[in-house]
Every structure is written in C-alpha cells, then in structure tokens.
Amino acid sequence: MTENPGTPLNPFDEFGGEAVVRQLVDRFYDLMDELPEAYVIRKLHPEDLFGSRQKLFDFLCGWLGGPQYYVEKHGHPRLRARHLPFAIGEVERDAWLLCMEQAMGEILPTGRAHEHILVKLRELADFMRNR
C-alpha cells in the first residue's frame, strides 16, 4: 500500500527511528556523567550505566510511538512506582531535564515533534517527583 504523504509521522519516525533514540539516550547518560549539576541524580544510578541506557532506550522507543521493547521485557512501565525507591524532588527533576533537554537539542531534529515531546517529558519528569 502506498503511504499517504499527508499522514503525520509519529515522533519515533519523525526523529529518525531507533538509531536516533539510541544516540539520544547515550548522550543523555554521557551528560549525566559529565555535568556537575547532574551529580545529584548520577549518584542515584548504578556505577555502570549500561542497564540504565538499555531500559531508557527500550522505554523511549515505545513511548515515542515505536516498538514496545520495554513492555515486552518488563511489563507495564509503572514508571512512578519504579522511581519510588529514589528520592526525587525539584532539584532531581531539574537535573534530569537539564541532561535531557541538552541531549535533545544536540541530537533530535527540530520540528513539530520536538517541542511537543519536550512538553510531555517535562510533565512526565514532574510526575516522578515523590517528595
């Protein structure tokens, strides 16, 4: 079937699919490692970020409209519940968003999906606050 050129792409496709989500996640965790402002959340994560990178990649692929790897591997994300073991307040939320917003600015093409996803991620990060 020929695809209708007017059909809007989902953010996952619009950003460039898995390869770009992988670059985004890698840059995000590299920044978490490097930025002094991010130490407050870096120290909550395991020393080796390999597993964290894979989980965030899997989650974001599905959340952006691509393959549901996270759900296939781990079931329903229950993201807020999974973050309850970590004390997340405004400082931690803002440190997470600092890394994500910088990574998005460097990696993701600008366009209609970019701003929309930024707004949604800010909401999601705020929802993770548990103190």
Residue 80 binds ligand HEM, judged by CB under 6 A: no
Task: Say if residues 65 and 4 touch (Cβ distance below 8 Å).
Answer: no
111 binds ligand HEM (CB under 6 A): no
**DSSP state at residue 88:** -
Q: Let me know how long the chain is.
A: 131
**For residue 24, how many other CB atoms are within 10 A of its CB?**
22
Q: Which stretch binds ligand HEM (CB under 6 A): 12-20, 22-30, 103-111, 119-127?
A: 119-127
Interacting stretch for ligand HEM, rule CB under 6 A, among 15-23, 26-34, 40-48, 102-110?
Answer: 40-48
89 binds ligand HEM (CB under 6 A): no
What span, in angstroms and rounded, lies between the C-alpha atoms of 26 and 38? Answer: 15
Distance, CA of 24 to CA of 19 (rounded, Å): 9
What residues make contact with ligand HEM under the rule CB under 6 A? 41, 44-46, 51-52, 55-56, 59, 74, 79, 82-83, 86, 88, 92-93, 96, 121, 124-125, 128
